[in-house]
Amino acid sequence: MFKKTLSAALLGTVCAALPAFAQDPVAGGRLNLLVQPEPSGLMLGITTNAATNLVSGGIYEGLLRYDQDLTPEPSLAKSWEISEDGLTYTFHLQEGVKWHDGEPMTAHDVVFTFTEFLTETQPRHRNIMNRVASVEAPDELTVVFTLKQAFGPFIRIFAYKTAPIVPAHIYEGTDFRANEANATPIGTGPFKLDEWQRGAYIGLVKNEDYWMEGRPYLDEVIYHIIPDAASRANAYETGDLDVLPGGTIENFDIVRLQKNEGTCVDEGGWQYSSPMAWMWLNNRNAPLDNPKMRQAIMYALDRELALQVVWNGFGRVAKGPIASTTPFFDETGPLYEHNPEKAKELLAEIGYDGTPLRMLPLPYGETWQRWAEVVRQNLAQVGITLQTEATDVAGWNQKTSQWDYDLAFTFVAQNGDPELGVARNYISSQIAKGNPFNNVEGYSNPKVDELFAKAAVAVSTEERQALYTEVQQILQEDVPIAWLQELSFPTVYDCGVHNLITTANGAGNSLRDTWKEQ
């Protein structure tokens, strides 16, 4: 594999010195990617984890895509209008779109997806649709959403990963989760499922009837399944893989691989998710039910050290509940710089007796285990003892969703707007056992509930900003969770691959544009 030297800095897209002139796309070829872990399913309307998002982004599409500034772009909808009062959204669909089985896609499929399918399969979608008065199809290529009241985040709900359009003719009148088509998903995307060899690879092939003329460029996309971390990096170095998507290899391997000639690294494609890592602090359990105990933990954490040592400088220290890449972020104090003496003062003030706390690391590989060890050492320095409880993914899901922990690592997507991805972690109505991605910490503050509710329906950007600023100020004082880091999952790839990441949802939503030098 031909390689060129790469700079050590990783800001945006960093590539080795390539020709300055633009190159025309080349049709054909196979793209070899890694998916880790192996998806549990590919029916994107039912299975929503990161691995499924990566693979099924070539199979399914949403009404819109979002660029890396979160500006909406056409996808299955070629254009749209929003009424001045913010209550009516009218989408005009692309012409000539077919499902992978040859049936035409129409506005009926969109109405069915939003009013029947997703309302049953996705709790977050039900919450959004509670704000919708009606979804109607005046003709086969037009869909009209009428809201009960203005809802600013609404324009950002139409991504492929949050609202994939599904075929009504396959799912109407069936048990959605038990439908046989879930094993062989049928979408409208640029690629179709060809073969899934469990434990080995998932193969997609070009959709010859794709609605966008000339796309996709690639003939095949193969997602390789390689459980061993060292073998994943080695497969790229030997040329068996063209792309290591973000999060599929350890950070120290990224640092090593970026030095190879002809290797490109791109930190983009995560703007929609804006994933943030934190530790749930179980607000139900003493002494964590005391805000000063939670503040002490924040002062004890050396988050800059963790960023540099554990994450090799990828990402940035979190400054509060809203990521700096998410709309309506406001930097407001206290920011909790590393201050062990302040932590000790707070612990003494509340009379903390040194009772050990149970810590649950995230079982996603060596980086997360190292991070848990750094946290354990940080807290030990101020007199807080942590007992680490190791689990697998299923065990982590069980313990967090049943509130069986004191401190637990996690990371959660913000989905382009505080109402879509932030509020659920703090509002009282989202305290419910059985879900590891809502208000797991058990924090309840009526004022915070009120502010989030008002911000969701405020019409002007200025009003929403003022409300979100106030809620951030309250949360910074209450510290319901320990914010750690805005995560960065760089994608490592051969520089002969072009247009790999062109949207805020990364390679999972961009492969219709991707081409490979032959």
Q: Is 130 helix (H, G, I), strand (E, B) or coil?
A: coil
Superfamily of domain 276-486: Dipeptide-binding Protein; Domain 3 (3.10.105.10)
> If you average pLDDT over every residue of the chain, what do you get?
92
pLDDT confidence bin for 419, thresholds 50/70/90: very high
Give per-residue pLDDT as tens, 156-206: 999 999 999 999 999 999 999 999 999 999 999 999 999 999 999 999 999
Tell me which of 498 and 20 has the higher pLDDT: 498
For residue 202, which phi and psi values (nearest 5 degrees)?
-125, 125
Least confident of 68-72, 197-201, 374-378: 68-72
Instruction: Please determine, for residue 60, whether its predicted confidence score (pLDDT) is greater than 80.
Output: yes
Q: Long-range contacts: 8-14, Cβ < 8 Å, 24+?
A: 8/258, 8/259, 10/258, 10/265, 10/267, 10/313, 10/314, 10/488, 10/490, 11/267, 12/266, 12/267, 12/268, 13/264, 13/265, 13/266, 13/267, 13/268, 13/501, 14/258, 14/264, 14/265, 14/266
Separation CA 429–CA 235 (nearest Å)? 46
| Per-residue pLDDT tens over the stretch 473-494 | 999 999 999 999 999 899 999 9
Name, in order, each residue with C-beta under 8 angstroms of 388's C-beta and a sequence gap of 6 or more: 359, 361, 372, 376
E-strand ranges in 42-151 read 64-66, 72-74, 77-82, 88-93, 132-139, 142-147
Residues of the chain with CATH 3.10.105.10: 276-486
H-only helix segments in 83-183 = 107-112, 118-121, 123-129, 168-171
Amino acid at 8: A
The first and second tokens of residue 314, run together, are 């990828």
CB 62 within 8 A of CB 159: yes
Length of the chain: 518
pLDDT digits (tens, 9 = 90+) for 5-39: 222 232 333 333 333 335 789 999 999 999 998 98
Q: Is the pLDDT of residue 391 over 60?
A: yes
Q: How far apart are CA 248 and CA 315, in angstroms?
A: 16
Q: What are phi and psi of 232, to 5 degrees?
A: -65, -50
DSSP string covering 191-243, please?
A: EEEEEEETTTEEEEEE-TT-SSTT----SEEEEE----HHHHHHHHHTTS-SE
The predicted-structure confidence for 244-289, as pLDDT tens digits, reads as follows 999 898 888 999 999 999 999 999 999 898 999 999 999 999 999 9
Distances (CA, A) of 439 to 51, 121, 153, 352, 476: 24, 20, 20, 25, 16
Within 10 angstroms of residue 363's Cβ, the number of other Cβ atoms is 16
Read off the pLDDT of residues 320-363 as tens digits, 9 standing for 90 and up. Answer: 999 998 999 999 889 999 999 999 999 999 999 999 999 999 98
In the predicted structure, residue 394 carries a pLDDT above the cut 60: yes
Per-residue pLDDT tens digits for 450-467: 999 999 988 788 999 999
What is the C-alpha separation between 62 and 149, in angstroms, rounded?
23
Question: Cα 362 to the chain's mean position, in Å?
Answer: 16
Q: Which amino acid is at 189?
A: G
pLDDT attached to residue 49: 80
Identify whether the C-beta of residue 336 lies closer than 8 Å to the C-beta of residue 320: no
- At 22 the pLDDT is 52
What is the pLDDT, as a whole number, of residue 319?
94
The mean pLDDT of 427-431, rounded to a whole number, is: 93
For residues 346 and 436, is the Cβ–Cβ distance under 8 A?
Answer: no
For domain 64-175, give its CATH number from 3.40.50.1010, 3.90.1010.10, 3.90.76.10, 3.30.465.10.
3.90.76.10
Residue with tokens 């506005």: 107
Q: For the chain, how big is the Rg over CA atoms in Å?
A: 23
* pLDDT reading at 384 higher than 90: yes
For the chain, give every residue range classified as CATH 3.40.190.10.
26-59+189-269+490-516
- Would the CA dihedral through 176, 178, 180, 184 be positive or negative? positive
Contacts of 188 (CB under 8 A, 6+ apart): 60, 61, 76, 97, 98, 99, 100, 105, 165, 211
Fold type of domain 26-59+189-269+490-516? D-Maltodextrin-Binding Protein; domain 2 (3.40.190)
Residue 124's pLDDT band, with cuts at 50, 70 and 90, is confident
Residues of the chain with CATH 3.90.76.10: 64-175
| Per-residue model confidence (pLDDT) at position 19 | 33
Task: Scan for tokens 């794709």, then name that residue.
Answer: 210
Dihedral of alpha carbons 378, 379, 380, 385, sign: negative
pLDDT given at position 516: 96
For 3, the token pair is 């390689």
Question: pLDDT for 291-318, tens place per residue?
Answer: 999 999 999 999 999 999 999 999 999 9
- Predicted local confidence at residue 97, as pLDDT: 98
Helix, strand or coil for residue 486?
strand
